[in-house]
Structure 1
Amino acid sequence: MTTPFTSPLPEAIDELWQRRTELTPQDAEARATIVGAVDELDAGKARVAFVDRATDEVIVDERAKRSILLSFRVLDMAEAQVGDFHYHDRIPLKTRMDGVRAVPGSIARWGAHLAPGVVLMPSFTNIGAYVGSGTMVDTWATVGSCAQVGENVHLSGGVGIGGVLEPPQASPVVIEDEAFLGSRSMVVEGARVREGAKLGAATILTSSTRVFDAETGDELPRGEAPAWSVCVTANRVKSFPGGDFSLPCLLVLKRLEAGQEHDKLALNELLREHGVNA
């Protein structure tokens, strides 16, 4: 039997959530509690969600999400400046960057955790996100609020990772360790890219996307790229009263050996056989 999850954040967050409509930036005690909770997320001492290895389920810390939502009520709008660029927002930019390479043009908001070894090209990482060690967030990629990205992941240029901040109990997008997302791929609505999965360029994955195995034709769990697989967006014909229409799906082209090292050239060659690039 697994031990029920207990949030590391203070129970006071739940009480504040019940009276959230009453909170203002003038509530100093509430603000201190909420800022302290989001600081824990920023430091990686707490996180919005994680995969329970014993059950393979995504566990969501509702208290973490509530902390973020409450911060919008108790923080004043403030001006900030970086060089010639001026900003006006409630949420400041992230300052805890130990061991992180953040090149000019990259933006990360306070409340996002970036583990040592993360590389940020000009990109955007939103509050509540978690990015694991060794992960590359490439040019113009976006990591949405509360999105969970594992270790040694490559988010190629223009990749869009949705968040899912509300409702608090909803699972955010989860990208597990060793995954590779090709250019302009989009993963949204709490979809899950499992360990070692590789997505070809412009792959679209939502929580309701149907997933099929190209070798067997079997339908797999919706909204998930299987572990150690190579996947692309495809179309499947469905009949409606008004005619037959092609609807997008995720097609699993190949299964990889668990732990197989990512070979960009080999992946490109495989995808090009099917008219797709990485």
Structure 2
Amino acid sequence: MTVTTPATDAALAKRINEAWEYRAELGDCDWTSLRGDIAAAIAGIEDGRLRVAEPSSDGWKVNEWLKKAVLLYFRVTDTEVMDGQPAPFWDKVPARFAGFDADAFKAVGARVVPGAIVRRGAHIGRDVVLMPSFVNIGAFVGEGTMVDTW
């Protein structure tokens, strides 16, 4: 995983915006080189350092380049069979907690009950309780939040 800093976030945003602008013209080799940038943006969202929408003194600020990164993720990712309960999934975005063991769940610091579905690229804060629900890629679930029902 690539770790970015505010200085590199600007460069990452520039590359994502350029990829978005020229997305119809990009070939397979171009997408291959952009996958790392898209993955870095998604990782930043997941770890909570980057947010698609964030509060500001003027209300909510939308970081359009991160919305574009999420949409580009769908473009560069193939659909595949993914293990899940109660049945397998046919999707492009893996489950956020796929392959987790007790230590990994403890590190996240959230309680996840059966029926809670979280896609990779969603931030789950500490002390979150996820009841049966769906949390999509790009979402930010803040510390101490309970997400309940559908």
TM range (shorter): 0.7 to 0.9
Separation in structure 1 between the aligned mates of residue 44 and residue 26 of structure 2, nearest angstrom: 21
Identity over aligned pairs, percent:
41
Partner secondary structure for residue 68 of structure 2: helix
Q: Count matched residues.
A: 133
Contact 1:25 1:74 in 2 (8 A): no
Question: Whose relative contact order is higher, 1 or 2, with alpha carbons under 8 Å and at least 6 apart?
Answer: 2
The aligned residue for residue 67 of structure 2 is 65
Separation in structure 1 between the aligned mates of residue 90 and residue 114 of structure 2, nearest angstrom: 20
Write the letter of the residue equivalent to 2:120: W
Relative distance call for 1:114 and 1:73 in structure 2 (3 A) is same
Give TM-score scaled by structure 2 length: 0.80
Separation in structure 2 between the aligned mates of residue 114 and residue 14 of structure 1, nearest angstrom: 26
The aligned residue for residue 74 of structure 1 is 76
Of Structure 1 and Structure 2, the greater strand share is in 1
The aligned residue for residue 101 of structure 2 is none
Separation in structure 1 between the aligned mates of residue 19 and residue 47 of structure 2, nearest angstrom: 22
Partner secondary structure for residue 143 of structure 2: coil
Q: Which structure has the greater CA radius of gyration?
A: 1
The aligned residue for residue 3 of structure 2 is none
User: Is 1:49 matched with 2:23?
Assistant: no
Give TM-score scaled by structure 1 length: 0.44
In structure 1, runs of 5+ residues without a counterpart are: 1-5, 141-278
Of Structure 1 and Structure 2, the greater helix share is in 2
Separation in structure 1 between the aligned mates of residue 27 and residue 91 of structure 2, nearest angstrom: 16
Separation in structure 2 between the aligned mates of residue 94 and residue 24 of structure 1, nearest angstrom: 29
Relative distance call for 1:51 and 1:7 in structure 2 (3 A) is farther
**Higher deviation after alignment, 88-97 or 110-119:** 88-97
In structure 2, runs of 5+ residues without a counterpart are: 1-6, 98-103
Deviation at 1:139, TM superposition (A): 2.5
User: Is 1:19 matched with 2:22?
Assistant: yes
Separation in structure 2 between the aligned mates of residue 24 and residue 79 of structure 1, nearest angstrom: 25
Relative distance call for 1:107 and 1:47 in structure 2 (3 A) is same
User: Is 1:126 matched with 2:136?
Assistant: yes
Partner secondary structure for residue 121 of structure 2: coil
Runs of 4+ in structure 1 deviating by more than 2 angstroms, as ranges, are: 6-9, 22-27
The aligned residue for residue 147 of structure 1 is none
Equivalent residue in structure 2 for 1:114, among 116, 124, 128? 124
Relative distance call for 1:63 and 1:92 in structure 2 (3 A) is same
The aligned residue for residue 8 of structure 1 is 9
Equivalent residue in structure 1 for 2:36, among 32, 36, 55? 32
Separation in structure 1 between the aligned mates of residue 8 and residue 35 of structure 2, nearest angstrom: 19
* Aligned alpha-carbon RMSD (Å): 2.1
Separation in structure 1 between the aligned mates of residue 87 and residue 26 of structure 2, nearest angstrom: 31
Relative distance call for 1:7 and 1:29 in structure 2 (3 A) is closer
Deviation at 1:24, TM superposition (A): 6.4
Separation in structure 2 between the aligned mates of residue 111 and residue 83 of structure 1, nearest angstrom: 20
